[in-house]
Structure 1
Amino acid sequence: MIRLANQQDLAQVQKLYQVLRPHDPELSAEVAAQTWRRLCEDSNTHIIVAEVEGQLASTYSLTLNLSLANGARPFAMIEHVITLDAFRRRGLSQAVLKYGIELAWQLDCYNTNRHKDVIAQREFSASETRQRMKGIVTLRSSSFTQYQKC
């Protein structure tokens, strides 16, 4: 099932992030709970998850960015994309990305790039996902543009 994360998902999302970013410092339970609550309550942040048999198998963060451009319509960014090894090659990354794209459209994100969306058409391998995580993937309605960090 593809859905938005909720307050009860904190521990499982943290496990996914530990796989994605194993060298991050461990958060105290209090800091993790406070931050998670703020993320869940933030109307511009959407943590999308794929749940398989009660376990979160894949996730990413879709963040809306307010803008004065394009009639003051927001654009969205995707970050922290991860699928657990045991659940790869099942189309979960594609499914969570599709869910987020549809959500971004519903939230009136604009389209500035006319290139066909290739990201949501296939599931990335682990190495491709890690390579993409080195850049920021910006979602603008039905297309993506990747910007490499300086």
Structure 2
Amino acid sequence: MATVRPAAEPDIPRILELYEELTGERHDLTRHETEPVFAEISSMPGHELLVAEEDNVVVGTMVLLIVPNLSHGALPWAIVENLVVDAGCRRRGIGRLLTEYAIARAREAGCYKVQLLSNVKRRESHRLYKALGFKTSAYGFRMYL
């Protein structure tokens, strides 16, 4: 059975492999490039890089951000980003586990909402999010730089 835990530095190569599955882009980053970024992520309050692990193998990952906020009664909000499960491990509840973890952490933090964006092509993911109570409630806009 899979469990969720904070990512550790030795997980970085596997996380990058999962990101390649997510984006279709390969970035051959060195430890010299990734270590300072991981250190910054790890030191930021409210920024969690998480992994799903099964039998000591990282099979999924996501980023959860808890964002301080002055609107909505000064309640924070949460955003899930870069959620991906290994293609060979999908449809086994790992995406659900990660998403439910994010929802629980957001509730613990007193967030008024959890938000996520998902590529329009990821219909399987959309079914999962809707089954967990997410609603299609806004248009999303991106500008890649």
TM-score bin, normalised by smaller chain: 0.7 to 0.9
1:148 maps to which residue?
140
Name the structure with the higher strand share. 1
**Pair 1:100–1:112, CA change in 2 (3 A):** closer
**Identical-pair percentage:** 22
1:117-132 matched pairs, under 5 angstroms: 127-128=122-123
Contact 1:81–1:129 under 8 Å retained in 2? no
**Pair 1:104–1:49, CA change in 2 (3 A):** same
1:68 maps to which residue?
70
Contact 1:45–1:63 under 8 Å retained in 2? yes
1:17 to 16, 19, 23: 19
1:101 maps to which residue?
103
Q: Which SS does the other structure have where 2:78 is aligned?
A: strand
Contact 1:48–1:100 under 8 Å retained in 2? no
Q: Which stretch has the larger CA shift, 24-33 or 102-111?
A: 24-33
**Pair 1:131–1:28, CA change in 2 (3 A):** farther
Q: What CA distance in whole angstroms lies between the structure 1 residues aligned with 2:93 and 2:114?
A: 27
Q: What CA distance in whole angstroms lies between the structure 2 residues aligned with 1:60 and 1:80?
A: 5
- TM-score under structure 2 normalisation? 0.75
Deviation at 1:112, TM superposition (A): 9.3
1:30 maps to which residue?
32
Q: Which SS does the other structure have where 1:23 is aligned?
A: coil
**Pair 1:130–1:21, CA change in 2 (3 A):** farther
Q: Which stretch has the larger CA shift, 98-107 or 23-32?
A: 23-32
Q: What CA distance in whole angstroms lies between the structure 2 residues aligned with 1:38 and 1:98?
A: 25
1:82 to 81, 84, 89: 84
Deviations 1:93-112 (A, max 9, x none): 00010011101111111149
Deviation at 1:84, TM superposition (A): 0.6
Q: Which stretch has the larger CA shift, 66-75 or 17-26?
A: 17-26
Q: What CA distance in whole angstroms lies between the structure 2 residues aligned with 1:34 and 1:78?
A: 22
Deviation at 1:58, TM superposition (A): 0.9
Q: Which SS does the other structure have where 1:90 is aligned?
A: coil
1:110 maps to which residue?
112
